[in-house]
Amino acid sequence: MEYYFQLQFVRFKRLLVASGVHPAIGILLILAGFLAGSYYLFYRVDWAAWIFMAIGLLVISQLGNKHRVEQLRWIFPAATLQRIRLLENGLAALPFALFLLGQRHIYFAAFFIISAPVLVFMRSPDRIGFIIPTPFKRFPFELPAGIRKAWWMPVIIIFLLVKGIQVHNYGLSLSAMILIALTVMSFYAYPEKVYYVWIHALTPKAFLKHKIRTAWIGLSILCLPVWMAICISFTDSIWVSSGILALGFVFLAFLILAKYSAYPHEMSIPQGLLVGLSLWFPPMLLFMVPVFYRQAIRQITPYLS
Amino acid sequence: MISILELSKSFGNHQVLKRINLTFEPGSIYGIVGENGSGKTTLFRCIAGLESYAGTIQSPYPVLKDHTGFLPTNPEYLSRITGWEFLKLVCIARGIREEAFEEQNIFDLPLDQYADTYSTGMKKKLALMGILLQQNDLFILDEPFNGVDIHSNMIILELIRKLQSLKKTVLISSHIFATLQESCDFIYLLQDGQIAKSVAPDQFGELEAQMKSFVVGDRINRIRIG
């Protein structure tokens, strides 16, 4: 088990080197990014603890993905596998829990610490053979696959929306809409296999347009009911809600361009930082969208011509 | 007609394909045989446009890959996508409005189940269904009979004959020589990245005997069994 964690650390360092960053600098950058992003969230948003916890749970749930666990099961005996998974979830939960404690959100931190090991024993519906129906059957593949991966997310979103309306907390309700946009963006975070780009009889430009159009349809179907509920409940803030929704559409398109700008590889750390900076400071999009668009066209052209 | 002219491919210093020249006619079936590592899959991936290469591929289409159906040896599926959704995806990719997949489900696949949970043979049959529904003109089938049950192999053989009657071009690689003998109009032997031999049907038996004596030789006697 000790060797497994040593190996994971070696793999992580190799990933940083492959991304063009010295491991020590990469680790420092990640730590600084985590702290800066977290402080910014708590500084700007009074309901930040909810979002912070949702992001943390999303990160931890990624460790329990089916293929990963199957690979571990193939290598380790059941008892060792369970110990590894518990330790992995604990390690991933630690920075989030410590930050929550530092912000004096003791109940959130406690809930988080309890949730981390509980997630090891939770079985996603597809692991017990249940196929989750989605409204996106006709829009494969990112939307139906993403919805099934984030099957538990609607519970959090509905809770945030309903609670926000109940206590008349605009920010809390708005966080439900932001969480939907972030979830849909996460569907487009990783590059698909080359075959799934190659099969398209489209020019690179038409391919990107098709991907963005499909993503926007998905975001509209998922976000518009929540946006309407917010608009009806908080009539004074219709323009703010609409502006944030519009920004969600822009960010989603931007993320798709960013993903294909590194295709067929995952985004490097410098690219990821540029994406993060653009999301933090949206005027940067005016410069970054054309850059990522040109890079995306260049990267996918070999597979579409 | 599709013409391959002086096609070469290297991975670093290792040259996998060396100046390949081939011509494929519509309505014909071509078999490619060769040992593991002889370059069959690389040749297929170059023709499909999945690998860069030196040389030229001429075809009557502006973009050949948009008319090509490629069946990989081991099709890989996206997670949490059902068989139905996979078929929908490959149709959308070619601008085909098709949804009647159940009635065309010739292999009786569980289309409402996740494709990545299918068995090896089922994965291959689903990928084959996908490229058939795309209405391609060139079919590249890399080991289509491997891992597939005998009943489905019979269906695949009939499908290949149907494609021939529809004037499609079919390229097949297979380690099962009998299946190529039954279906091909021509067989090419790929050795060390070069076309070592082109064989017409009347010489298929001779090629098989030659391959057997070359490949097997006295190898069996070299291992001490029992």
- For B32-61, what is each residue's pLDDT tens digit? 988 888 889 999 999 999 988 999 999 999
> What is residue A191's three-state secondary structure?
coil
Amino acid identity of residue A258, one-letter, is A
Question: Is A144's pLDDT higher than 70?
Answer: yes
Measure CB to CB from residue B76 to each of A141, A195, A305 and give the nearest one.
A195
Domain count, chain A: 2
Among A60-69, A109-118, A138-147, the minimum mean pLDDT is found in A60-69
Question: Is A152's pLDDT higher than 90?
Answer: no
Question: Is A127's pLDDT higher than 90?
Answer: no
| Alpha carbon distance, N-terminus to C-terminus of chain B | 54
Question: Is A129's pLDDT higher than 70?
Answer: no
Question: Is A124's pLDDT higher than 80?
Answer: no
A135: confidence class by pLDDT, cuts 50, 70, 90:
confident
User: Sheet of B2-11: strands edge to edge?
Assistant: B14-24, B2-11, B54-58
A contact set with B (CB within 8 A): 66-67, 126, 131, 137-138, 140-141, 144-145, 148-149, 192-196, 198-202, 302-303, 305
User: A279 and A237, same structural domain?
Assistant: yes
Measure CB to CB from residue B85 to each of A144, A192, A199 and give the nearest one.
A144
Domain containing A57: what range?
1-126
Among A140-144, A151-155, B79-83, the minimum mean pLDDT is found in A151-155
Domain assignment present for A141: no
Suggest the residue from A147, A194, A199 to mutate for an interface test with chain B (most B CBs closer than 10 A): A199
Work out the average pLDDT over A115-142. 78
Question: Is B102's pLDDT higher than 70?
Answer: yes
- CA A268 – CA A274 distance, rounded (Å): 10
A116, A63 contact by CB (below 8 A): no
Cα→Cα distances A38→A26, A160, A200, Å: 18, 20, 40
Q: Which residues of B touch A198 (CB under 8 A)?
A: 48-50, 65, 70
User: A105 and A18, same structural domain?
Assistant: yes
Domain assignment present for A186: yes
CA A245 from centroid of its chain's CA atoms? 17
Question: Is A167's pLDDT higher than 90?
Answer: no
Q: Give residues 57 to 86 of B whose Cβ lies within 8 Å of A.
A: 63, 65-66, 70, 72, 76, 78-82, 84-86
Both tokens of A291, joined, read 């850059």
Among A90-104, A113-127, A269-283, B17-31, the minimum mean pLDDT is found in A113-127
Averaged confidence pLDDT in chain A: 88
User: A222 and A106, same structural domain?
Assistant: no
Q: With CB atoms and an 8 Å threshold, state whether A195 touches B114.
A: no
Burial of A43 (C-beta count, 10 Å sphere; 0-12/13-18/19+): exposed
A126: confidence class by pLDDT, cuts 50, 70, 90:
low
User: A54 and A187, same structural domain?
Assistant: no
Question: Is A125's pLDDT higher than 70?
Answer: no
Domain assignment present for A159: yes
Q: With CB atoms and an 8 Å threshold, state whether A137 touches B113.
A: no
For residue B218, the model assigns a pLDDT of: 74
Q: With CB atoms and an 8 Å threshold, state whether B92 touches A140.
A: yes
Domain assignment present for A140: no
Both tokens of A107, joined, read 């109940």
Domain assignment present for A134: no
> How many other CB atoms are found less than 10 A from the CB of residue A203?
15
A62: confidence class by pLDDT, cuts 50, 70, 90:
confident
A113, A93 contact by CB (below 8 A): yes
User: A173 and A87, same structural domain?
Assistant: no
User: A243 and A114, same structural domain?
Assistant: no
Domain assignment present for A276: yes
Work out the average pLDDT over A234-248. 91
B179, B152 contact by CB (below 8 A): no
Query: Which residue is it, tokens 């394909």?
Result: B17
B92: confidence class by pLDDT, cuts 50, 70, 90:
very high
Phi-psi category of B108—alpha, beta or left, where left has phi over 0 and alpha has psi -120 to 50? left
Measure CB to CB from residue A198 to each of B65, B78, B86 and give the nearest one.
B65
User: A177 and A268, same structural domain?
Assistant: yes
Domain assignment present for A73: yes
Exposure b/e, A147-186, CB count within 10 A at least 16 = b: bbbbbebeebbeebbebbbeeebbbbbbbbbbbbbbbbbb
User: A197 and A120, same structural domain?
Assistant: no
For residue A139, the model assigns a pLDDT of: 87
- CA A134 – CA A132 distance, rounded (Å): 6
Cβ contacts below 8 Å, chain A against chain B, sum to: 69
User: A221 and A278, same structural domain?
Assistant: yes
Domain assignment present for A177: yes
Among B131-145, B153-167, B208-222, the minimum mean pLDDT is found in B208-222
User: A119 and A83, same structural domain?
Assistant: yes
B145, B176 contact by CB (below 8 A): yes
- CA A66 – CA A97 distance, rounded (Å): 25
Q: Which residues of B touch A305 (CB under 8 A)?
A: 49, 63
User: A270 and A175, same structural domain?
Assistant: yes
User: A284 and A163, same structural domain?
Assistant: yes
Q: With CB atoms and an 8 Å threshold, state whether A148 touches B89.
A: no
